[in-house]
Structure 1
Amino acid sequence: MQGRSIKPDDCSLHEGIRENGRRLGSYTPLPMAPSLTSLNEFRGYVYLLAQDQNGCLFLQKIFEEGTSQDIELIFDEIINHIVELMLNPFGNYVVQKLLDVCDEKHRLLIVRMVTNEPGMLVRVCLNTYGTRVVQRLIETLTTRQQISSVILALKPGVLDLVKDQNGNHVIQRCLNLLSNEDNKFIFDAATKFCVEIATHRHGCCVMQRCIAHASGKHWDKLMTAISRNGLLLAQDPFGNYVVQCIMDLKNPCSIAILLSQFKGNYEHLSMQKFGSHVVEKCLRHFEESRSQIVLELLSVPHFEQLLQDPFANYVIQCALAVTKGVLHSSLVEAVRPHSTLRTSPYCKRIFSRNLLKK
């Protein structure tokens, strides 16, 4: 039997098929892809072909080499099962390819099928296979009606999407391809749930994309929300990257808010794994804040603890490297009396470099 083409009248393909083309049970996968000219022989069974590894490849080839009538036949047979195919390991590739070749009438029907039930499109986005198709769908949207329908369907689940390992890629694709105003629902959520999103593994990446793509009032509101939560975010494993992203932009208003948040907290931040990176960045990039930071650190009751701290010692090294004149001299005078600590695992890094000779 090996090597023969399977036709619709073979029991292996018919097994478990209802009259309407739905599966009742498992069926044997096609052992080999049918020839290009045999599509008509599979009328009524295209939905099953799309879920089979060989059948999936066969249908994709039809999309590339077949006629418009072939595309119409495939579309007619799978459109009522489009959501199920989006979630299928093989069917999702068929739908992606269909989106590449279909006309506007077909694309609009696909959009309607995936958006007519509340929450359906969001569930597809959260799926490992579905997220690929929705990203491709967003790439191929061309009309105002299509875009509006997709946005309205995604909006209620935007927070879940942002924080999901699959869904966040759909949101990022929207940010990359849709207009500033179309992405308003994302910017609004990022502003409203700023801390929740910025402190999430996937959310922090989306937040940085929002900062990069937002403009006008959306950007202003987002920057303000993040800056006002700067102290909290700076101490978070993911939020600190969002804060550093804002610092890199050097927007005067945002920086002023951030620095006001950090004032009086530099010792605390310096002794934290993530906060110490933010303090180092402040020292390197904001000359106007250096005196404030150094004087706060010099005023702590036990300065030597900072020298021996696994994180704060890097802050002290950074401060010695970027300061000059009186400020640098003050730091050196505070460090030298503790030279007996030069063998300490962390403190020795300060004494082993030429920072004190500057």
Structure 2
Amino acid sequence: MKLETVRGEILSLCKDQHGCRYLQKKLEERSPENVQLIFLETCQHVVELMTDPFGNYLCQKLLEFSNDEQRTVLINNAAPEMVKIALNSHGTRALQKMIEFISTPEQVSTIIRALTHQVVELIQDLNGNHVIQKCLNRLSADDAQFIFTAVGNSCVAVGTHRHGCCVLQRCIDHASGAQKAQLIAQITEHAFHLVQDPFGNYVLQYIVDLQESCFTDPLCYTFQGQIPQLSKQKFSSNVIEKCLRGADPSVTRVLIEEMLNLNELEKMLRDSYANYVVQTAMDYADPNTKTLLVEAIRPILPAVRQTPHGRRIQSKIMALDGQGRFSGSGTPNDRSSGQVPLTSQMTTTHQNHSPSVNGYSQSMNNQFATPFSGSYPQYPTGQSHPMANGSNFAQYGTELPQQSSYGRLPQVNGNFF
């Protein structure tokens, strides 16, 4: 059937499943006459068609095969209702295609004017947030300034939203140097609110993962004075651990010093979240700070030894003592990549590389553990392990315990294995 035979009926065909497919095939023939005929009968109805279950597919195809002049007319006709289109489950697809094919400064300006006053509303919508992300992908950093301004001024509303926290991270990705610095400064200003939120905490972790001290250090100092409190909360404890791993050693030292108060430290060791913060602090502290932290923990151990958290901490300290790491020769973990990378030899179960005495494996959680290619013989109960420093172990008993719970597995780049 030639397209001319349906002249005057094209709009109704756009809303029909079979008619829409027929018109799409005619557009794919790349005939300028066909494109012009379909364009003339649909351009005034673009809002209606973009939100139609079938018509939106025709609009997407028309935007792909139309020329710049035709595309400009379609964008101008859609502009007054562009937010409505973006919020629609069908319209969001057609609008993303429209943004994908913009090609002139005039078209860019029309898109910006249509969306600029309702950026936050779009970000918080299931459909609309994809339109904003398409703008970030398609527009230059300068053209996307209207998005950075909106999210920066409403970073709490955006960052604490299920969809908004993802869009805020994409904004950080696409912003230029000055734009990124401004946006992160606004986020840092509200960090104490974001850090305790189920979604906002991911935004702060993302900033730390940039591994740029000019962003990480000010963020860490925002939490100064509240480290024990934030460590005992589910969401903020993850951010504090991330800060201990990613901040400069001098900043990490400041954070750890807040934990050295015996009353607070005991509460942290007993807490189901804060005890992991303490373990991370032990892993990433410089040698002098590590010594201070371990010596502060020792008097508390008898009171918490019977708890699962206490046993893990005790195991970590015994492993450090056994390797003599408090002589000042130890070095903290590599901060550029989290834990010391595992070699291929160590990617098997950690029991294969941990000296075993009477069924007890020395903890491999500490950062100074080294690959162990062989295996030590079993020793009868009561005999010291040949690799143990007898004088150090004597402070806590001459025998290693018969059984031990591994508790939380060691982390590699923030993940458990």
Same fold (TM over 0.5): yes
Q: Which SS does the other structure have where 2:258 is aligned?
A: helix
Match of 1:76 among 31, 40, 62: 40
- Map residues 303-342 of structure 1 onto 2, 5 A cutoff: 303-336=265-298, 337-339=300-302, 341-342=304-305
What is the CA–CA distance in structure 2 between the aligned matches of 1:101 and 1:263, rounded to whole Å? 57
Distance 1:355 1:132, change over 3 A: farther
Per-residue deviation at 1:82? 1.0
What is the CA–CA distance in structure 1 between the aligned matches of 2:88 and 2:310, rounded to whole Å? 49
Q: Which SS does the other structure have where 2:234 is aligned?
A: coil
Structure 1-normalised TM-score? Answer: 0.83
Query: 1:18 is matched with which residue?
Result: none
Q: Report if aligned partners of 1:131, 1:169 keep a CA contact under 8 Å in 2.
A: yes
Deviations 1:288-342 (A, max 9, x none): 2222222211215243321221211111121122234332233333334424534
What is the CA–CA distance in structure 2 between the aligned matches of 1:334 and 1:218, rounded to whole Å? 44
Query: 1:47 is matched with which residue?
Result: 11
How many percent identity over aligned positions? 43
Match of 2:215 among 254, 277, 286: 254
Q: Which SS does the other structure have where 1:274 is aligned?
A: helix
Any stretches of 5+ residues in structure 1 without a counterpart? Answer: 1-36
Distance 1:104 1:66, change over 3 A: closer
Deviations 1:113-140 (A, max 9, x none): 111x3xx101101111111111111110
- For 1:338, the aligned partner's letter is L
- Map residues 132-281 of structure 1 onto 2, 5 A cutoff: 132-281=93-242
Per-residue deviation at 1:167? 0.9
Per-residue deviation at 1:345? 4.4
What is the CA–CA distance in structure 2 between the aligned matches of 1:322 and 1:222, rounded to whole Å? 29
Question: Is the helix fraction higher in 1 or 2?
Answer: 1
Deviations 1:187-229 (A, max 9, x none): 1112111211111111111111111111143222212111122
Q: Report if aligned partners of 1:53, 1:90 keep a CA contact under 8 Å in 2.
A: yes
What is the CA–CA distance in structure 2 between the aligned matches of 1:301 and 1:340, rounded to whole Å? 12
Query: 1:285 is matched with which residue?
Result: 246
Any stretches of 5+ residues in structure 2 without a counterpart? Answer: 321-417
What is the CA–CA distance in structure 2 between the aligned matches of 1:186 and 1:326, rounded to whole Å? 46
Q: Report if aligned partners of 1:50, 1:91 keep a CA contact under 8 Å in 2.
A: yes
Per-residue deviation at 1:343? 4.2
Query: 1:354 is matched with which residue?
Result: 316
Query: 1:5 is matched with which residue?
Result: none
Per-residue deviation at 1:72? 1.5
Q: Report if aligned partners of 1:51, 1:91 keep a CA contact under 8 Å in 2.
A: yes
- For 2:115, the aligned partner's letter is L
What is the CA–CA distance in structure 1 between the aligned matches of 2:155 and 2:10, rounded to whole Å? 46
What is the CA–CA distance in structure 2 between the aligned matches of 1:238 and 1:252, rounded to whole Å? 23
Distance 1:152 1:302, change over 3 A: closer
Structure 2-normalised TM-score? Answer: 0.72
Query: 1:25 is matched with which residue?
Result: none
Quick check: 78-87 or 51-60, which moved more? 51-60
Q: Which SS does the other structure have where 1:297 is aligned?
A: coil
What is the CA–CA distance in structure 1 between the aligned matches of 2:205 and 2:199, rounded to whole Å? 10
Query: 1:30 is matched with which residue?
Result: none
Q: Report if aligned partners of 2:216, 2:246 keep a CA contact under 8 Å in 1.
A: no
Count the aligned residue pairs: 318
What is the CA–CA distance in structure 1 between the aligned matches of 2:57 and 2:215, rounded to whole Å? 44
- For 1:169, the aligned partner's letter is H
Distance 1:291 1:191, change over 3 A: same
Q: Which SS does the other structure have where 1:301 is aligned?
A: helix
Query: 2:24 is matched with which residue?
Result: 60
